Amino acid sequence: MASDTEDGGEVQPTETTTDDSSSPTTAEKEEQAASTGMEIVKAGNSNAQETGGLSLNYEEARALLGRLEFQKGNVEAALCVFDGIDLQAAIQRFQPSLTDKTTSKKGQTKSESGIENPATLVLEAIYLKSLSLQKLGKSTEAANQCKSVLDSVERMFQNGPPDIEQKLQETINKSVELLPEAWKQAGSHQEALASYRRGLLSQWNLDDECCTRIQKRFAAFLLYSCVEGSPPSSGSQVEGSFIPKNNVEEAILLLMVVLKKWYQGKTHWDPSVMEHLTYALSLCDQPSLLAKNIEEVLPGIYPRTERWHTLSLCYYAIGQKEAALNFLRKSLNKHENPNDIMALLLATKICSEERHLASEGVEYARRAIKLSESSDVHLKSVGLHFLGNCLGKKSKTVSSDHQRSLLQNETLKSFSESIALDRHNPDLIFDMGVEYAEQRNMNAALRCAKEYIDATGGSVSKGWRLLALVLSAQQRYPEAEVATNAALDETAKLDQGSLLSLKAKLKVAQSSPMEAVEAYRALLALVQAQKNSSGSSKTDAEGHNDSVSEFEIWQGLANLYSSLSIWRDAEICLQKARALKSYSAATMHAEGYMLEVRDQNKEALAAYVNAFSIELEHVPSKVAIGALLCKQGSRYLPAARSFLSDALRIEPTNRMAWLHLGKVHKNDGRINDAADCFQAAVMLEESDPVESFRSLA
């Protein structure tokens, strides 16, 4: 065997030939490697006599030869060489040498002797063996070998990590990084999870860059692996520290740590960190925290327009629409990125939700439609959809009936063009149904409501609400109640608030006040259940989406008892509502109504004025003021006409405003105008829903 290597004087890499019969088998490779290793041992021992007694043993020889083969790319040959190393025996033999040499001056081991630390050589060999196994697709074996390296290091450093040489530290760093990756490739996700935590919680003396790489990979694994691991054990945490409860919280914690390192200049910027954090915080519904982190990123890292667009999404998600729109205005400036279709569409969507922004939204929508003409049919459909919403809002702000009619026609035209491009968009069908309903085209609205329910499979409650309101506007109350009950059957218990509220109003319309009271009681129980499920006693006085706030329930009960002239109960309900929301136009209006019924007209007028002072476009208060002034004599008729006309400007389909305006014209001697107003009131009464269609928006 020895004569095979003595001729050449040094080990040559194995050459691969096209003749399969001449290729060495695995056994032959191992025999060759072993013989070569023995030759290195002999050469090392002969050199030792010249250099003062230093020698290479069998494990060191195999470690050096295996490293050489691995560096040449001969992975299989390297693996054959590494297989002969007994790690445990080598570690036990070399541990005293390691501890002795690490206590001496750093770097002396290799520079003075010319030979690397024996333990470092062997540990590196096992790490390279793991890497070789991974390259050959043997991930489980690779992970086990890598784990043995870290187990050995832990035993050597059981009294705390000493001041070790750089080469050994590099091997430890690489092993800590490799172990979870090998387990992941092997499909052992729980072991990978444990390895990541072990790598970050154990004392390995990892440098900042290595630790950051592990934290980023671990965060990505937690977010996207679809493996729910148990939370970290409290025993491994510092007392008083935050312990994440699930994968997403743990990933957010890791990404926050990485960001903090970047702020402190300890690591390089990696845009994927913010991408992962954006995804994680979105899962947790924490857009405000995401906005805070984006705002803390120094200028020059993000393109300005990209930062503004992301911040606008965050602020829109938390309900700060004006702030979101301001970011988009900056982004769409002619000096920035005025042709960003996505920013234009988002700006249009925000504007479509507020009347005073509707005109601005129309301009954004038309720009987006023009840009998407030749690029994307879907985006053009979305632009037309939002344009219709903006035009619908704008039609409610104009004072001219002619302008209102033109805008309403344009609204329906935009919706029709959008549906032609995207026939299966349920939200578009719903918005078109609401527009038809507000224009009192009940047959078309009923058709859209049924199409929406079919498109969503009846799983979305607002479709049932639209159907019930349209049926109630057609005076088909029993059918409306059947639709509401069907929606209640399809809706989760905690999401039934708006449906129960609608059911109560349907009971009132059918002259069943006691059943309406029972519906309100069920609503109160639901609100309490929602509080308990959220773990908070804080009341959302405003309400949102399909929920109904406790304030609205007490207000509804107060109105119900007032209509029944049960004043004591009405007063109690008003007090409850006032305790939840001190300044409310609805509460002031209800108080004014109770005073007016008792013939306390001055006090009632003051309450109505206070109501519309709180909410300048509160239509019921304007109508009540106009009606009350109409009773005060002819000199108050111009003021009454002004209030009622303003109410109709805001809500042209308010039948009570038309009724009282007719009375004003009659008292003023304008009989023809009065007849027109009375006719409009009668027509609207025939199509008046139990709840405004605007509640669906």
**What's 356's DSSP letter?**
G
**SS3 state at 202:** coil
Q: Shortest CA distance to 587 belongs to which of 575, 602, 569, 604?
A: 575
Give the confidence band of 15 by pLDDT, cuts at 50, 70, 90.
Answer: very low
Chain centroid offset of residue 131 CA: 38
Contact 180, 213 (CB under 8 A): no
| Higher-pLDDT residue of 376, 97 | 376
Residue 106 reports pLDDT greater than 60? no
Q: Shortest CA distance to 98 belongs to which of 176, 174, 164, 171?
A: 164
* CA–CA distance, 414 with 44 (Å, rounded to integer): 87
User: Long-range contacts: 612-615, Cβ < 8 Å, 24+?
Assistant: 612/585, 614/583, 614/584, 614/585, 614/588, 615/585
* CA–CA distance, 65 with 219 (Å, rounded to integer): 38
**What's 24's DSSP letter?**
P
| Mean pLDDT computed over 280-294 | 90
Q: CA torsion 313→315→319→322, rounded to 10°?
A: -100
| Mean pLDDT computed over 282-292 | 90
Give the confidence band of 131 by pLDDT, cuts at 50, 70, 90.
Answer: confident
Q: Report H helices in 318-441.
A: 321-331, 341-351, 358-371, 377-395, 401-421, 426-438
What pLDDT, on a 0 to 100 scale, did the predictor assign at position 239?
53
Give the confidence band of 161 by pLDDT, cuts at 50, 70, 90.
Answer: low
What pLDDT, on a 0 to 100 scale, did the predictor assign at position 393?
92
| Mean pLDDT computed over 18-45 | 47
Q: 39-48, 172-181, 531-540, 566-575: which has the minimum mean pLDDT?
A: 39-48
Residue 99 reports pLDDT greater than 90? no
| Mean pLDDT computed over 602-627 | 91
Give the confidence band of 138 by pLDDT, cuts at 50, 70, 90.
Answer: confident
What pLDDT, on a 0 to 100 scale, did the predictor assign at position 392?
92
Contacts of residue 89, Cβ cutoff 8 Å, sequence gap at least 6:
59
* CA–CA distance, 654 with 620 (Å, rounded to integer): 9
For 27, the token pair is 């056994």
| Higher-pLDDT residue of 425, 157 | 425
Q: CA torsion 189→191→192→194, rounded to 10°?
A: 130
Q: Of all helices (H) and strands (E), which one includes residue 501?
A: helix 497-509
Q: 58-67, 142-151, 178-187, 615-624: which has the minimum mean pLDDT?
A: 58-67
What pLDDT, on a 0 to 100 scale, did the predictor assign at position 103?
46
| Higher-pLDDT residue of 430, 207 | 430
What pLDDT, on a 0 to 100 scale, did the predictor assign at position 146?
82
Residue 226 reports pLDDT greater than 90? no
What pLDDT, on a 0 to 100 scale, did the predictor assign at position 55?
47
**Ramachandran category for residue 382: left, alpha or beta (phi over 0 → left; psi -120 to 50 → alpha):** alpha
What pLDDT, on a 0 to 100 scale, did the predictor assign at position 315?
95
Q: How many CB atoms lie within 10 A of CB 278?
A: 18
| Higher-pLDDT residue of 415, 117 | 415
| Mean pLDDT computed over 199-215 | 85
**What's 694's DSSP letter?**
G
| Mean pLDDT computed over 10-30 | 43
Give the confidence band of 49 by pLDDT, cuts at 50, 70, 90.
Answer: very low
What pLDDT, on a 0 to 100 scale, did the predictor assign at position 449?
94
Contacts of residue 324, Cβ cutoff 8 Å, sequence gap at least 6:
311, 312, 313, 314, 315, 316, 346, 350
Q: How many CB atoms lie within 10 A of CB 58?
A: 16
CA-to-CA dists, residue 206 to 120, 176, 213, angstroms: 16, 9, 11
What pLDDT, on a 0 to 100 scale, did the predictor assign at position 70?
79
Q: How many CB atoms lie within 10 A of CB 448?
A: 26
User: Long-range contacts: 2-5, Cβ < 8 Å, 24+?
Assistant: 2/35, 2/38, 2/39, 2/42, 4/32, 4/35, 5/35, 5/36, 5/39
Q: Shortest CA distance to 385 belongs to which of 435, 323, 328, 338?
A: 435
**CATH numbers and ranges of domains, the chain:** 57-93+118-190 (1.25.40.10), 629-696 (1.25.40.10)
Give the confidence band of 489 by pLDDT, cuts at 50, 70, 90.
Answer: confident
Q: 256-260, 364-368, 496-500, 680-684: which has the minimum mean pLDDT?
A: 496-500
**What's 697's DSSP letter?**
-
Q: 160-174, 279-293, 329-343, 636-650: which has the minimum mean pLDDT?
A: 160-174
What pLDDT, on a 0 to 100 scale, did the predictor assign at position 50?
39
| Mean pLDDT computed over 125-154 | 82
Amino acid at 174: K
- DSSP letters, 82-139, are HTT--HHHHHHHHHHHHHHHHHS-TTHHHHHHSS--HHHHHHHHHHHHHHHHHHTT-H
| Mean pLDDT computed over 72-79 | 78
Q: CA torsion 621→627→630→632, rounded to 10°?
A: -70
Most confident segment among 43-47, 63-67, 214-218, 580-584: 214-218
| Mean pLDDT computed over 42-51 | 41
Q: Which residue has the tokens 């402190």?
A: 264
Q: How many helices (H) and strands (E) does the chain have?
A: 34, 0
Contact 660, 623 (CB under 8 A): yes
Average pLDDT, the chain: 81
| Mean pLDDT computed over 181-209 | 84
What pLDDT, on a 0 to 100 scale, did the predictor assign at position 17?
37
| Higher-pLDDT residue of 307, 244 | 307
* CA–CA distance, 593 with 573 (Å, rounded to integer): 14
What pLDDT, on a 0 to 100 scale, did the predictor assign at position 605?
92
Contacts of residue 360, Cβ cutoff 8 Å, sequence gap at least 6:
347, 351
> What does residue 661 show for φ and ψ, rounded to 5 degrees?
-65, -35
Q: How many CB atoms lie within 10 A of CB 529?
A: 12
* CA–CA distance, 396 with 552 (Å, rounded to integer): 25
For 617, the token pair is 């476009």
Q: 233-242, 315-324, 352-361, 399-408: which has the minimum mean pLDDT?
A: 233-242
Contact 351, 357 (CB under 8 A): yes
Residue 623 reports pLDDT greater than 90? yes
Residue 96 reports pLDDT greater than 80? no
CA-to-CA dists, residue 558 to 389, 568, 576, angstroms: 34, 10, 9
Give the confidence band of 464 by pLDDT, cuts at 50, 70, 90.
Answer: very high
Size (the chain), residues: 697
Amino acid at 556: G
| Higher-pLDDT residue of 46, 487 | 487
Residue 230 reports pLDDT greater than 50? yes
Residue 466 reports pLDDT greater than 70? yes
Give 583-605 pLDDT, tens digit per residue.
889 899 999 998 888 888 899 99
Q: 49-63, 333-347, 633-647: which has the minimum mean pLDDT?
A: 49-63
Handedness of CA 263, 264, 267, 268 (dihedral sign): positive
Percent of the chain with pLDDT over 90: 34
Give the confidence band of 166 by pLDDT, cuts at 50, 70, 90.
Answer: confident
* CA–CA distance, 441 with 62 (Å, rounded to integer): 89
Give the confidence band of 536 by pLDDT, cuts at 50, 70, 90.
Answer: very low
Contact 128, 78 (CB under 8 A): yes
Give 390-449 pLDDT, tens digit per residue.
999 999 888 788 898 999 999 999 999 999 998 889 999 999 999 999 999 999 999 999
Amino acid at 113: S
Give the confidence band of 537 by pLDDT, cuts at 50, 70, 90.
Answer: very low
Give the HSE-up count for residue 222: Cα atoms under 13 Å, Cβ half-sphere: 32
For 256, the token pair is 């926050």
Give the HSE-up count for residue 168: Cα atoms under 13 Å, Cβ half-sphere: 30
What pLDDT, on a 0 to 100 scale, did the predictor assign at position 120?
76
Distance from the first to the final alpha carbon of the chain:
89
What pLDDT, on a 0 to 100 scale, did the predictor assign at position 46?
43
Residue 67 reports pLDDT greater than 50? yes
User: Long-range contacts: 534-541, Cβ < 8 Å, 24+?
Assistant: 539/580, 541/580, 541/581
